[in-house]
């Protein structure tokens, strides 16, 4: 069984991705809440077959973190990101990353990408690399104050009922805000919304 180290500072995103990789991919997954913790895990000799690093987590320092991890890891190192533009992805791949995995990948595509990297291939999402996304425009998505409040609750892993209680509003109102903000973010579900919000600095 292949062993993966997944490093991401967002608890909900990290735990959801790790659980999916374990359940659907059959991988053994260790997790780290930041770059320094990931580096320490690799230095302890965890016997990992692949390291997945979130591009924007504390300590990562973008491609500098990739280079540092490549120096100590005895396995492929790939980048995960929700909002990094195609040019960053191209630079990461030129710098020797084993792959660039957008967090917008469909679940089965994520599993397939990981398997390709473990098989020795480089994963480069062609559609993403040739797109003309504007990350600054994405980061300027106009959420209302209440939508942002709901999104913060979702990012903290709270249920709709808990968010409604915290904000002193009806649960049905929370659902409405969640539906609206998910449309604005282009999110498939609440976990995806939390993932995008965190990477865009919205929550």
The CATH number that applies at residue 7 is 3.40.50.2300
- Show which of 129, 153, 184 is a domain's final residue: 129
pLDDT digits (tens, 9 = 90+) for 11-63: 888 999 999 999 999 999 999 999 999 999 999 987 899 999 998 888 988 78
Q: Do 84 and 24 lie in a common domain?
A: yes
pLDDT digits (tens, 9 = 90+) for 100-155: 998 878 888 899 999 999 999 989 876 555 555 444 444 446 778 888 899 989 98
Q: Which residue has the higher pLDDT, 195 or 30?
A: 30
Q: Do 63 and 85 lie in a common domain?
A: yes
Could you tell me the strand order of the sheet in which 50-54 lies? 28-32, 3-7, 50-54, 77-81, 100-102
- Show which of 129, 153, 182 is a domain's final residue: 129
Mean pLDDT lowest for which of 105-119, 164-178, 188-202? 188-202
Q: Do 66 and 165 lie in a common domain?
A: no
Q: Please tell me the predicted confidence (pLDDT) of residue 129.
A: 55
Instruction: Please state the domain count of the chain.
Output: 2
pLDDT band at 171, cuts 50/70/90?
A: very high
Whole-number Å distance between alpha carbons of 105 and 137: 20
- CA angle 8/9/13 to nearest 5° reads 65
Domain containing residue 69:
3-129
Q: Do 125 and 142 lie in a common domain?
A: no
Q: Do 160 and 122 lie in a common domain?
A: no
Examine the pLDDT at 86 and tell me if it is beyond 50: yes
Q: Do 194 and 145 lie in a common domain?
A: yes
Q: Do 109 and 161 lie in a common domain?
A: no
Q: Do 154 and 124 lie in a common domain?
A: no
Q: Do 37 and 113 lie in a common domain?
A: yes
Q: Please tell me the predicted confidence (pLDDT) of residue 203.
A: 58
Nearest by Cα to 184 from 128, 136, 144, 155? 144
Examine the pLDDT at 72 and tell me if it is beyond 50: yes
Q: Do 165 and 195 lie in a common domain?
A: yes
Q: What is the CATH number of the domain that holds 141?
A: 1.10.10.10
* 79 close to 99: Cβ distance less than 8 angstroms: yes
- Show which of 129, 147, 165 is a domain's final residue: 129
Mean pLDDT, range 156-164, rounded to an integer? 92
Q: Do 119 and 153 lie in a common domain?
A: no
Q: Do 174 and 108 lie in a common domain?
A: no
């Amino acid at each position: 069984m292949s062993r993966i180290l997944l490093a991401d500072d967002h608890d909900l995103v990290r735990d959801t991705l790790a659980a999916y990789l374990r359940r659907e991919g059959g991988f053994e997954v260790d997790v780290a809440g930041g770059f320094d913790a990931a580096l320490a895990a690799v230095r302890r000799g965890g016997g990992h077959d692949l390291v997945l690093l979130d591009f924007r987590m504390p300590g990562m320092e973008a491609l500098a973190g990739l280079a540092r991890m490549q120096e100590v890891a005895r396995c492929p190192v790939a980048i995960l990101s929700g909002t990094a533009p195609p040019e960053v992805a191209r630079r990461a791949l030129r710098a020797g990353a084993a792959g660039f995995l957008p967090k917008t990948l469909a679940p089965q595509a994520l599993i397939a990408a990981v398997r390709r990297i473990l098989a020795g291939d480089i994963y480069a999402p062609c559609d993403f690399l040739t797109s003309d996304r504007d990350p600054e425009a994405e980061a300027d998505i106009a959420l209302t104050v209440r939508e942002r409040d709901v999104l913060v609750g979702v990012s903290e892993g709270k249920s709709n009922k808990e968010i409604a209680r915290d904000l002193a509003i009806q649960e049905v109102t929370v659902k409405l805000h969640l539906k609206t903000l998910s449309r604005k973010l282009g999110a498939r579900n609440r976990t995806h919304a939390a993932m995008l919000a965190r990477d865009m600095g919205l929550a």
